[in-house]
Structure 1
């Protein structure tokens, strides 16, 4: 194969790679939502990642809208932002998974920057919540990114059968998967850990009172008896020796 042919192939490969990268780059720049668990009914921490500003302008605020099927959300603190929960009243009170009556829900979480996020840097925001018991559904969080100049509204939700990658400004989202077979046992694990700690404490207490000793202190009694008999034996030996010495003294006298 000639040098000219190889050069042409090299140029073609480079052009193809550049086109591929140009197609991938916009998708990777979207605001994304990544849950620690997507299982139905699970407690999860959803991480929202922001990778750029608004056409070069630094980011000054992020407001994440909470899906209607999610009632409660706990936001994580971010050292460069003030955080605010925005509540809304429910049309009709409902009962949550713990049997409590709920009259309002978290409508959105707003992060306002105390120090703007430069366009060339990324940041992330974490929300703790319970995934709705709705396997197969997509949980979308329309997000508004405010910048020093302009804003980007990541609020587009794909229609049924539409590919989210085809949208220009898709809302961060993830699909709810099947519930875990083990369920949520964080309470059981805590109790089990406490039981194990109690058992270890009991073993340490037993060891500190004497290795292998019974609760009634029988080993201690046996040791005391042995010392008593040894003392008595030494006393008898002393008495015999004393008597012999006295007898010799009388004879000499």
Structure 2
């Protein structure tokens, strides 16, 4: 009589439970991070022109969003906001402590401090939206992190995404962190790099054209050489024919 083997279900159950718990914690952490208002730059190089996309994933404790105000950090004086058909767009300006001279020589005495999107129809809590700003990152901001505080106003209450991590502090420790951009070294991604790349491309194109010209010239030279060889061969053949005819006449005469 054979005895049935018992399946060790308890250890497997414990492993599955532990794995499930770890997965749940991971999802919770990811959910907490994705719940923040965030910003995604198209370029981070100092001095570059970049497109910043701000994402608003939810309302204020379940309340629909009615307004999103994005504050520009010092060093950024203007921004071009992308229109959104679901919102009215407005800007707020402030006086500069010291006037600046623009590239065209004009004096700049004020800066755009806030760009505000006011909803025509409130954004439901279960839906997300995004807002785009085109601007130039400061040329002297390499290695710095620029914070863009956002005030999210809802039908009931508001959420101020304005907290900035201090030295040694992680953004994960903040309840309402401000969207931020870490500025990297100026390189090929910025406007100056693009211009340099264009010049390099022009140089490469010139080299390619020159190489193509040399190849064509070489082909022409080869063609001329072949023509001369053919002409010489034809002349030699003609000489042989003439000699053969002369030899035949001589034999008939003899």
Q: TM-score, normalised by structure 1?
A: 0.71
**Structure 2 CA distance, aligned partners of 1:79 and 1:165?**
33
Aligned residue in 1 for 2:122: 116
Once the 2 structures are TM-superposed, how far is the Cα of residue 161 of structure 1 from its aligned partner? 2.3
Contact 2:49 2:190 in 1 (8 A): no
**Structure 1 CA distance, aligned partners of 2:56 and 2:181?**
16
Runs of 5+ consecutive residues of structure 2 not aligned to the other structure = 1-6, 206-254
Q: Does 1:87 align with 2:93?
A: yes
Aligned residue in 2 for 1:158: 165
**Structure 1 CA distance, aligned partners of 2:96 and 2:55?**
29
Once the 2 structures are TM-superposed, how far is the Cα of residue 11 of structure 1 from its aligned partner? 1.5
Once the 2 structures are TM-superposed, how far is the Cα of residue 18 of structure 1 from its aligned partner? 1.1
**Structure 2 CA distance, aligned partners of 1:35 and 1:100?**
29
Aligned residue in 1 for 2:69: 63
State the SS of the aligned residue for 1:22.
helix
Aligned residue in 2 for 1:53: 59
Q: 1:4 to 1:182 in 2, by over 3 A?
A: closer
Once the 2 structures are TM-superposed, how far is the Cα of residue 48 of structure 1 from its aligned partner? 0.2
Q: 1:3 to 1:66 in 2, by over 3 A?
A: same
Once the 2 structures are TM-superposed, how far is the Cα of residue 181 of structure 1 from its aligned partner? 4.0
Q: TM-score, normalised by structure 2?
A: 0.71
Q: 1:60 to 1:183 in 2, by over 3 A?
A: closer
Once the 2 structures are TM-superposed, how far is the Cα of residue 20 of structure 1 from its aligned partner? 2.1
**Structure 1 CA distance, aligned partners of 2:168 and 2:10?**
47
Q: How many residue pairs were aligned? A: 193
Q: 1:146 to 1:16 in 2, by over 3 A?
A: same
Q: Deviations over 1:142-201 (max 9, x none)?
A: 100001111100000111222112110000001000101475156796xx99xx9xxxxx
Q: Does 1:11 align with 2:17?
A: yes
State the SS of the aligned residue for 2:62.
coil
Q: Does 1:139 align with 2:139?
A: no
Root mean square deviation of aligned Cα: 2.2
Greater shift after overlay, 174-183 or 159-168? 174-183
State the SS of the aligned residue for 1:53.
coil
